[in-house]
Structure 1
Amino acid sequence: MRECVGCKQCFPSTHTLCRECFIELVPNEGVPQVVNERYTLTKVRHKSVAATLYEAHDAHTKQTVALKILRASSLADPRAVERLLVEAKLAARFRHPLIAELLDFGTLHDASAFLVSELARGVSLRDELKRLGKIPAPQAIQILGVLAEALDAAHVAGLIHRDLKPESIILSPDWMTAADSNDETKKTLSLKIVGFSLARVAMGKEFVPGTTHVMQSRGQLPLRPTYMSPEQFRGIETDLRTDIFSLGVIAYEMLAGQPPINAKKFGEFGARMLAKPPVPLHVINASVNSLLESTVLRAMQKLPDGRQQRAREFRQELAASVKG
């Protein structure tokens, strides 16, 4: 297969020039354009160390889907593929209107794996944070409440995201209009959480000084640890409360316009996360009341027992902060 670095479209290996951009195509011989004799890769959406996300055409349903190919290096742990298949089967049985549906999954001949899911259309929370800086508190509370509702449903079903971040949250293009509307019939905020319950295949390894770059190059540690919980950083087995921590970090960033910890080096980030408390939100954003601040900071407690024990509890505290 070949890819265009301009428009990101995918072409058969026999093509050499993009017919739209008129630039030379880049070969990607390790990836077949047709996956599992069903999904034709049409466009690159995102690349990371561990995986590449494509748009693809499903020959059976005639729909456009999201197809993620996990690199073999991220599945180097012998238990990784087994974990992937077990969790993918669980995720494929789960249905929720706010979570992108997992449609298909499997392994490829080179020991990589593929995951096919519903294509969530809209704008990512990451893009909106770049555009707006801070999210106004009323809109942030509404988004966070909807996120907590979806997370709680998934947690009840036994699913944990483990890699929740602004890129994982896709908002409908009219989300701000809906959030601002005085018409209750138009106030329903539409969003989708993507990448659910599949991060564990590349996680679970304890951070060891001096091995960061190796583990990151294999996709076994994220390049951006901003949303990792302390237990993830330590390599401890996680439960649903790791998602609560990530949700708290996202909430902090939405309200402050910056994450609670900024550090360029992985080890430096870990030292700050485990030792230094974040700057109080009201110091950065005077519109944040004490109840909202305490809700967010509680979610980011270092020890899981100190956080809200359910996403539903986080949502209830958000609602109380509005009334307060």
Structure 2
Amino acid sequence: MRSLEPVTRPLTVHPGDTVEGRYRIIELLDVGGMGAVFLAEHLLLKRRVAIKFLHVELTRDTDMIKRFMKEAHAAGTLGHPNIVEATDMGFLDEHTPYIVFEYLEGALLTEEIYRVSGMPPRRALAIARQIASALEAAHNAGMVHLDLKNDNIFLGDKNGAADHATVIDFGISKFMEVDAESTQPGVPIGTPEFMAPEQIETPDLVDKRADIYALGVCLYEMLTARRPFAGDDPRVLFHRIIHEPAPPLARLEVPANLDAFVFELLAKDPATRPPTMREVVERIDRLQLEAVRERRATRTRRRTEQSQPVTPPPVARPSSLAPWVLAMFVAGSVGGVLHALDVRAPDTRRAEPPPVLEIDAETEQLNALVGAQLRTTRLRADSIARTPMLRAAIEADAATVDDVLRSERILEPTANETIEVFQATAGKLASLSRAPRTAAPLSGIDDARILRTSRGLLVEASAPIANHDTKLAGAVVVSALVDLVPIEQKVAARARKFVAAATTPPVIEIAHTPERELLRRARTTCLGIAALLLLYVAWMLSRRE
């Protein structure tokens, strides 16, 4: 995600300036590593455009200028509906190049993914197909993107169709036939979390299959709202990308054929991935067709089941009592034997070991679970904070802001999630709206924290809301509950007590179950079963009478 902090590096132009007598600068849209993007208007055509200027300090770097010109070439010549179109380019003061792009309205795909906490398979496939089609056009023109990621996909409405995907930023792309010297030898280029293994190990030899891997990461993130590999240390991240298998998608609604397709795109060996984007597009078409057939078959089965007459179940007749009496006798006998052993055994309650702290596989699993939830919650808060309608209304009165949030459906929490919007007033944060309304209030935290509650671990993250002058105007706080049930069930098989402490890293506290406690539990269980069987036999006898 891009930062919302005020711009500190010098800008080439400012709002109100005129570029070569044709474009009037309106406002700053975004700042990246290579340049700044401004909203502008063509003075004669009265058409809004986006103009990207290379940063002043990079104008003396020939490699950066080559990359910048390469982006203009890609956007101006590929002519694909899912690739951003460049309409003009030029130079300021004969030194600073700029590119004029079509102005796109909407949001980055990353923002939408974390706003909805992961997309349904049908929607994710439709977007992935558009991306694959755009990259097929680039590959056919001899160009590899090399920095494909959901931050470089713009999602909006076009010609009345929703979810129109547009691939942007070909700044580090590579021409497969003539670009052997366009990058520094042996230096990986791209966004680490989306880089293919060969892009890390042999960056000089990458080809179009690196884009196929990156598309797999994009699709994985669309479906799960997380990336297969993430981390702050590049060395650890690169090692995992090269050597470790991607974690399972773990979403029941993702069909098996789509799950297998995602992991085929993420194959470590380029030779085992689909060889071309044309094949990727065809595979997605088949997946969409199979999904349509499955939905039709499901509707047909439901109609058939609803049309069939309901036959009342046959009345069960009392069965023989002999097996039940025998089972009651066995359970009671076993319970009696266990009781006798417990009475004769010496009392060792004082010798039971105290609770111990175990840092093992369960703790690593908990750390991974909390880390993934913390990252998702941060991105979710940042995505909501960047919503244009919220940024425009944040400085209005509370009733107006709340009305905008509800009407634009900006606050739509998922299960076990709470979202609260704060307004900055006199240096303090005041709550404006919360969803769900019945949830407990959140506090205006600065960054993120982990809390221990009676329901489990609660992850909270905050993101600043900047107005159109890039000044702090409020904050969004999102809290989500970490599901500890799978770990609790795993630990319960050999422990009496489970506590996940809100520390960094989180800690599992396990009190081991002594043998005598197991003996007492077994005795209680057997006697309980015997009592239930006795009640059942008595009920059967009463029915026979």
TM-score range, shorter chain: 0.7 to 0.9
Q: Tell me what 1:257 maps to.
A: 225
Judged with a 3 Å threshold, the aligned counterparts in structure 2 of structure 1 residues 27 and 77 are, in CA distance, closer, same or farther, namely closer
Which of 76, 98, 106 is matched with 1:122 structurally? Answer: 106
Q: Tell me what 1:200 maps to.
A: 173
Q: Name which of structure 1's ranges 143-152 and 31-40 shifts more when overlaid on structure 2.
A: 31-40
CA separation in 1, counterparts of 2:92 and 2:189?
Answer: 22
The residue correspondences of 1:193-232 to structure 2 (distance < 5 A) are: 193-200=166-173, 204-205=183-184, 224-232=191-199
Q: Tell me what 2:19 maps to.
A: 35
Q: Tell me what 1:285 maps to.
A: 251
State the 1:204 CA deviation: 3.2
Q: Tell me what 1:131 maps to.
A: 115
8 Å CA contact retained: 1:99, 1:193: yes
Q: What TM-score comes out, normalization by structure 2 length?
A: 0.45
8 Å CA contact retained: 1:299, 1:307: yes
Q: Tell me what 2:285 maps to.
A: 319
Which of 106, 112, 128 is matched with 1:144 structurally? Answer: 128
Which amino acid is 2:222 matched to? M
CA separation in 2, counterparts of 1:299 and 1:73?
Answer: 38
CA separation in 2, counterparts of 1:70 and 1:276?
Answer: 38
SS in 1 for 2:114: helix
Which of 3, 25, 28 is matched with 1:44 structurally? Answer: 28
Which amino acid is 1:204 matched to? T
1:13-41 Cα distance to aligned partner (Å, 9 max, x none): xxxxxxxxxxxx98945446433443332
State the 1:94 CA deviation: 2.4
State the 1:260 CA deviation: 0.5
CA separation in 2, counterparts of 1:268 and 1:27?
Answer: 31
Which amino acid is 1:44 matched to? L
Judged with a 3 Å threshold, the aligned counterparts in structure 2 of structure 1 residues 255 and 160 are, in CA distance, closer, same or farther, namely same
Which amino acid is 1:165 matched to? K
Which of 262, 269, 276 is matched with 1:303 structurally? Answer: 269
Larger radius of gyration: 2
Q: Name which of structure 1's ranges 139-148 and 64-73 shifts more when overlaid on structure 2.
A: 64-73
CA separation in 1, counterparts of 2:74 and 2:113?
Answer: 32
CA separation in 2, counterparts of 1:112 and 1:304?
Answer: 39
Judged with a 3 Å threshold, the aligned counterparts in structure 2 of structure 1 residues 47 and 57 are, in CA distance, closer, same or farther, namely same
The residue correspondences of 1:4-15 to structure 2 (distance < 5 A) are: none
Gaps of 5+ in 1: 9-24, 176-185, 209-219
CA separation in 1, counterparts of 2:219 and 2:86?
Answer: 26
Which amino acid is 1:129 matched to? I
State the 1:117 CA deviation: 0.8
Judged with a 3 Å threshold, the aligned counterparts in structure 2 of structure 1 residues 73 and 239 are, in CA distance, closer, same or farther, namely farther
CA separation in 2, counterparts of 1:174 and 1:101?
Answer: 14
SS in 2 for 1:172: strand
State the 1:113 CA deviation: 2.9
Which of 152, 164, 179 is matched with 1:191 structurally? Answer: 164
Q: Name which of structure 1's ranges 107-116 and 148-157 shifts more when overlaid on structure 2.
A: 107-116
Which of 67, 71, 87 is matched with 2:51 structurally? Answer: 67
Judged with a 3 Å threshold, the aligned counterparts in structure 2 of structure 1 residues 311 and 42 are, in CA distance, closer, same or farther, namely same
Judged with a 3 Å threshold, the aligned counterparts in structure 2 of structure 1 residues 273 and 60 are, in CA distance, closer, same or farther, namely farther
CA separation in 1, counterparts of 2:200 and 2:61?
Answer: 18
State the 1:76 CA deviation: 6.1
SS in 2 for 1:236: helix
8 Å CA contact retained: 2:27, 2:40: yes
1:203-233 Cα distance to aligned partner (Å, 9 max, x none): 834677xxxxxxxxxxx966x5222233433
Q: Tell me what 1:236 maps to.
A: 204
Judged with a 3 Å threshold, the aligned counterparts in structure 2 of structure 1 residues 318 and 30 are, in CA distance, closer, same or farther, namely closer
Which amino acid is 1:300 matched to? L
Q: Name which of structure 1's ranges 28-37 and 50-59 shifts more when overlaid on structure 2.
A: 28-37
How many pairs are equivalent? 277
1:242-297 Cα distance to aligned partner (Å, 9 max, x none): 2212111000011122000111122222121111111122xx21222232122111
* 1:171 and 2:155 are equivalent in the alignment: yes
State the 1:86 CA deviation: 5.0
Q: What TM-score comes out, normalization by structure 1 length?
A: 0.72
State the 1:60 CA deviation: 4.5
SS in 2 for 1:67: strand
Q: Tell me what 2:384 maps to.
A: none
Q: Which gives a bigger RCO, structure 1 or 2 (Cα 8 Å, sep 6+)?
A: 1
Gaps of 5+ in 2: 175-181, 292-545
8 Å CA contact retained: 2:119, 2:223: yes
SS in 1 for 2:173: helix
Judged with a 3 Å threshold, the aligned counterparts in structure 2 of structure 1 residues 171 and 310 are, in CA distance, closer, same or farther, namely same
Judged with a 3 Å threshold, the aligned counterparts in structure 2 of structure 1 residues 302 and 107 are, in CA distance, closer, same or farther, namely farther
8 Å CA contact retained: 1:67, 1:115: yes
Q: Tell me what 2:387 maps to.
A: none
SS in 1 for 2:99: strand
Q: Name which of structure 1's ranges 125-134 and 39-48 shifts more when overlaid on structure 2.
A: 39-48
8 Å CA contact retained: 2:265, 2:273: yes
Q: Tell me what 1:267 maps to.
A: 235
State the 1:102 CA deviation: 1.1
